[in-house]
Amino acid sequence: MDLKSIREKYPNLWVATRVLKRDENGQPVDFELLFVGPHRIAVREKFLNENDVCFFYTGDVFREGWLVVL
């Protein structure tokens, strides 16, 4: 499953995925979905000791109306 498919199917949630394939730059491009949930810590704790697992949020990082200081 690719990143776009995961974001479309599970919007605004935290996901844990196992990396199945990487591109020539080492970036993950194919994933096995392991777990989905609304709480970052709960998702991360389930697979913290696993190898080659990626955790990410599928929603927008910056939302309309937010003030962001870089």
pLDDT in tens, 22-38: 999 999 999 999 999 99
Q: 17 exposed, middle or buried (CB, 10 Å; 0-12, 13-18, 19+)? A: buried
pTM for this predicted structure: 0.79
Confidence grade of residue 67 (pLDDT, cut at 50, 70, 90): confident
Q: What's the longest Cα–Cα distance across the chain?
A: 37
Q: What's the Cα-to-Cα distance from 25 to each of 18, 30, 57, 62, rounded to whole Å?
A: 18, 14, 22, 27
Tell me the C-alpha distance between 8 and 36, whole Å: 13
- Look at residue 61 and tell me whether its pLDDT is greater than 80: no
pLDDT beyond 90 at 9: yes
